[in-house]
Amino acid sequence: MPVDLQALYPKLIHLMLDTVFVVDPDNRIVFVSDACETLLGYRAAELCGTLITDYMHPDDLAATKASIVRVMNGQPHFDFRNRYIRKDGSVVYILWAAFWSEEVGARIGVARDVTALAHAEEELRFLAHHDPLTKLTNRALFRDRLETALRAAQRRTSTLALLFLDINDFKGINDTHGHTAGDQVLCEVARRLQACVRETDTVARMGGDEFTVLLTDIDTPQAVAEKVAQILAALSEPLGAEFGALRMPSCSIGVACYPTDGADADALLDHADGHMYRVKRARLAPSGSPVG
């Protein structure tokens, strides 16, 4: 007996894991396969007759409308991504293949949920520019922001400050309490540093127990000194009870200011690093009072 393909096609469409949409020239949904409930949380009967644009993420609406125009002008789109708002309010990332059918007089699209992939890509992008432990800016991104800030300072004839911070005797924490405790201290230092700066400033972990802080548009040496004092005070606060017997270590901070201490990123980093080591040596000097 021959197979009746015409009768089979509708059933096959509803078996597809991806969602099939048929949308008229006015963006009204005229057909959607059953997979829409998994994709958007709506049953097919709830979607049919409504505008597909009503479900689009507002931040993606302009780009999606441009894609619609392209498809309706006869240019199929097989790799368009956007976001939709599900019935429960959550966001779903969708990969579309769509074309305009003159025969049907409608736009036909197949939608695939790529939310997991999109989140994985976002995580990879984040990790490329951030320290995986503290979530702070990493060395590469900090360098890029420093150079950008220097160019802006040169154009505006403004100043900026670079702080180089090192945790004193951090190796002793790892040796005595273990690396897990050391990681907890690094995260606590990162949290306190971020709490001390403005959104326009940048805190980075350069590696190990070394951190940097970029302070933009800071006007006077006194303002820099006050910020250093604020950071040292914040970092000297005792650790919470969750740290047990572990004590918050002290820190040494070196400072470099543009343009006084250098005109480029390397010069400023070298100056701040050198100043930090001088502070650390002064702290350990028998006749000197503790510094940093």
Query: Predicted confidence band at 2 (pLDDT cuts at 50, 70, 90)?
Result: low
Number of domains the chain contains: 2
pLDDT tens track for 41-50: 999 999 999 9
pLDDT tens track for 4-33: 656 666 777 888 899 999 999 999 999 999
Average pLDDT (214-223) is: 92
Query: Predicted confidence band at 1 (pLDDT cuts at 50, 70, 90)?
Result: low
Same domain, 115 and 156: no
Residue 289 is assigned to a structural domain of this protein: no
pLDDT tens track for 84-96: 999 999 999 999 9
Residue 291 is assigned to a structural domain of this protein: no
Give the per-residue pLDDT at 287.
54
pLDDT tens track for 56-69: 999 999 999 999 99
Query: Predicted confidence band at 292 (pLDDT cuts at 50, 70, 90)?
Result: very low
Give the per-residue pLDDT at 34.
95
Instruction: Give me the phi and psi of 93, to 5 degrees please.
Output: -95, 130
Taking the CA atoms of residue 250, residue 241, residue 183 and residue 170 in that order, the dihedral angle to the nearest 10 degrees is 30
Cβ proximity of 79 and 93 under 8 Å: no
The last residue of one of the domains, among 119, 142, 175, is: 119
For residue 71, is pLDDT > 90?
A: yes
Same domain, 113 and 217: no
Note down the domain range covering 38: 5-119
The pTM is what? 0.77
The residues annotated as belonging to the active site are: 209
Supply 200's token pair. Answer: 């326009």
- Which of 205-208's residues contact partners 24+ apart within 8 Å by CB, and which partners? 205/131, 205/133, 205/134, 205/136, 205/137, 205/138, 205/139, 206/139, 206/142, 207/139, 208/170
Same domain, 246 and 200: yes
For residue 148, is pLDDT > 90?
A: yes
Indicate the average pLDDT of the chain. Answer: 92
pLDDT tens track for 154-191: 999 999 999 999 999 999 999 988 999 999 999 999 99
Query: Predicted confidence band at 289 (pLDDT cuts at 50, 70, 90)?
Result: very low
pLDDT: is 80 or 283 the higher one? 80
Same domain, 204 and 268: yes
Residue 274 is assigned to a structural domain of this protein: yes
Same domain, 104 and 147: no
Same domain, 11 and 89: yes
Q: Report the DSSP pairing between strands 29-32 and 19-23.
A: antiparallel
Instruction: Give me the phi and psi of 159, to 5 degrees please.
Output: -115, 165
pLDDT: is 214 or 292 the higher one? 214
Same domain, 113 and 151: no
Give the per-residue pLDDT at 14.
82
Residue 228 is assigned to a structural domain of this protein: yes
CATH of the domain at 172: 3.30.70.270
Residue 292 is assigned to a structural domain of this protein: no
Same domain, 68 and 210: no
Average pLDDT (202-229) is: 95
The last residue of one of the domains, among 87, 119, 151, is: 119
Residue 71 is assigned to a structural domain of this protein: yes
For residue 102, is pLDDT > 50?
A: yes
Cβ proximity of 249 and 173 under 8 Å: yes
Among 59-63, 80-84, 216-220, the range scoring the smallest mean pLDDT is: 216-220
Share of the chain above pLDDT 90, in %: 83
Same domain, 108 and 227: no
pLDDT tens track for 228-283: 999 999 999 999 988 888 899 999 999 999 999 999 999 999 999 999 999 999 88
Residue 9 is assigned to a structural domain of this protein: yes
Residue 143 is assigned to a structural domain of this protein: yes
Average pLDDT (187-199) is: 96
Same domain, 149 and 265: yes
Same domain, 94 and 36: yes
CATH of the domain at 95: 3.30.450.20
Same domain, 115 and 134: no
Average pLDDT (112-135) is: 96
Query: Predicted confidence band at 3 (pLDDT cuts at 50, 70, 90)?
Result: low
